[in-house]
Structures are given as structure tokens and as C-alpha cells.
Homo-oligomer: A and B are copies of this chain.
């Protein structure tokens, strides 16, 4: 690797798709394998995923959820038990037909999601109201036979967590569905600095087998929407298909009510496409595996190296992950590498700095440089990391809001969609016909009916009849 290689990525404004792939590869988040559509998550990419897991898992456990592990494989007959569900997933599953040299009597698929396995297990273990609720979650990988694939956004195998819960009452299950959606939203906003719109999916866009699907939708730098996490309320649909019943306090047999919710490595793609720039990755401090990178300049100055490690030690004592890059590469190369990896804050320190008791802090988000006294460096680092986290969120939110436009007619909608990407606010009558027509004519799909912005403004943008909801529409990943 030379300096040029580090810097050579496609410009974000020239070719967003290529810029994105360049970052994934050059920041060493992923690599391709010879298995089509399956990616390797490299140490730096996996460290980000581990931090995501740690943050989410903590929130799940604090709200009473327990982790379990279900089989990777699902028999064809089990997958077939809930009609809508199998119709949604069967076209995209990978089928196992042979174990060793023997042909199997029944095909098995690699799980595309695990509703059926959880249902079967719950039907076995739940007898009475005393066994409820069950609040299970699983961290695993799933396989869906996608045609076109892109790092993190769409691959034949991806990592995720899937929560599956069962409850005695409808109300309790509905409450759980929204609780988990809020956990996802808070996590995205507080940790990944990604502003999200919380809302409900239309019937067309909901999960196969669900009664309601709730979503958090984020808007990427290029104005394309990305569904970042979903939470489903199943009612008793699966309960009836799988005979998941319990005896209530009056000894009556009742069906359980059910939810499921998931977030995947896709969210890493969302984070990249929200914050990164032409210098490479930009990581929010709250998720960065390395928050501060110290780069000593001037090989033959032991006082510089010494001071660098001194600062690192102080930061580590404050639990701020920190690396000293005193490798033999040129300062310029090391700066570029630190920027490519998206490390939130860089400290540059040379002999003259040590002599004048200062150092330079460089924020990754704005690339602003500021000289600070070595006496105040840890305080300044703490302040600046907080500021970076907040500014990244605010910048993304302002951009998202700027890219959210309102239209009242189909013509306006077509013109807008041809001009620019973004969220389009438009009222809708609730009919599948209009939803399909909008997709056909405008090339956008309904992203969600936002909780906080769902009152219709005027008539249906498509048919002109009474509108039922305001909907956010957009192109999507």
C-alpha cells in the first residue's frame, strides 16, 4: 500500500455506488469470497458489528429478553406451516438435498428467518399463563438467495438478531412490538447518529405473515431510503398455524399473541452511507472500535513517542479506546489511513509541539484542526468526541429534513422524483391500486406511514379521493 492507494477512492458525488463499495473494501471492512453473494467481514468491520451487538444486547437484556439458539436448518414441511410466510420466503431459500452422499427424504432449507422454529418450540414449552411472556432473541446468520448483492446492503448470507416473543394478550404483544421499535430508533440515533423516521408499513410492504409491520427508515446521503430495522406484530396468525396455546387463569385454552423484530449488518451500510465522505469512512465516536488515533511525527525524537504513549495511557484510563500509530510509514500516509478508517479524532504531535507543550487535534467529521495545550488534551478529547457525535447526528438530520419534500399531485410527484431523491410526503387513500400506480408512474415505494406525521394533507395524490394517511415515499435500498 502506498499513499496513493489509500486516497484513491471514487468521489461520492461522481458515483455513489462505486464510492460506497470502495469504502467497504479500502477501509478493510469486508472482502469478497469465491462464493457468489457471500462476503467476508474483516476484523475492522467485525469490531464494528461486535460494538453494535454489545449495545443492542445490553438493551435487550435490560428489557427482560433472553438469548437462545435455534437450528440453522428448517424442514420443508415446517416452513410450509404458515401460508403467507412460506409464500414470502420459499422463492429465496437455499435447499439442502444431500447429507454426505445420501439423498435426504425431505429437503431442508437454510433459515431465511426463524419464525417457524420459534413457533414450534413455543408450542412445545408453553402450557399455562405462568409460562408467559417468553421474550427470546437470537444472534445468527440467515441465508436468502438474492440475485444482486452489495456489501452489507444485500448479500446471500447476512448476520442479524431476531427477537421472537409470545404474550398472553394482544395489548401486551402490541406494546412489545413498539417497545422494540423504539429501542432500535434510540440505538440508531444515539449510537450510530442516524436520524430515523418511525412508522408503519402499508399492507403491501409488511412482513410475510404479520398483521402489522413497523419500521425505522433512514435517508442516505444520496437521498435513497434504507429500512434500518423492523418490528412485527403477528396477532395470533402463527399461533393458529402452530397451535400455540395456553391455559389462562380461568383454565380456558387460548391462543398466544406474538411479535418478531430484527436488525442486521445492513445497518453498517446505513451508517457508511449516512456519514462517510471522499476521504473514507466516518464513524460516530459511540460505535468506533478506535476512538482516538495518536500519530507521532519525527522518528528521531524519543520525547514525541514518549508523550504519545503518555496521552494514550491517560485516555485508556478514561476508557477511551486509543491507538498510537508509530509505524514507519510517512505522516501523510498515516493521516490518510486514519481518515480512511474513520477514526473520530486524530492527535498529531511533533517535536515542535512537545517543545511548546501543545498538540493538534483533527476531527474526522469536519477535518478541522485545532491546537490544544498538552495540559488539557484529555479534557479536550472528551469534549470533542461528544461534539462530533452530536454534530454528526445533527448534520444528518438537517440533510434528511432538507431532502423531505411535500407534493399534492401525481404530476408534482413525478417531476420531483425525476429531479432528486429524498423522502416524498404525499397523502394516500389506502388502496393497493394507487400504491401500485405510484410505484409504476413515479418509481418510488411507500416507505412508511410515520407515527409523528401521518395526518393526510389534502386528497390522495394518485386518485384524488379522500386520503387516509400521509405516507413517506422514496427510492429504497
Binding site for B on A (CB under 8 A): 31, 33-35, 38-43, 46-47, 49-50, 66-75, 78, 90-101, 108, 110, 117, 120-121, 124-125, 136, 140-141, 143, 145, 156-157, 159
Contacts and interface: CB of A to CB of B under 8 A. Distances in A.
A287 to B, nearest CB: 16
B34 A69 contact: no
A111 to B, nearest CB: 10
Nearest to A38: B71
B97 A68 contact: no
B100 A33 contact: no
A248 to B, nearest CB: 17
Contacts of A38: 71-73
Contact of A145 (B46, B93, B100): B100
Nearest to A49: B69
B97 A69 contact: no
A143 B72 contact: yes
A67 B96 contact: no
Q: How many copies does the complex hold?
A: 2
Given A40-B121, A95-B96, A46 B69 contact: yes
A93 B110 CA distance: 14
B95 A125 contact: no
Contacts of A125: 31
24 contacts: A33-B71, A33-B120, A34-B78, A35-B73, A35-B74, A35-B78, A38-B72, A38-B73, A40-B117, A41-B69, A43-B67, A43-B68, A43-B136, A46-B67, A47-B67, A49-B69, A72-B110, A73-B157, A91-B101, A94-B98, A95-B99, A99-B156, A100-B145, A110-B110
A373 B43 CA distance: 52
A476 to B, nearest CB: 22
B35 A50 contact: no
Contacts of A47: 66-67
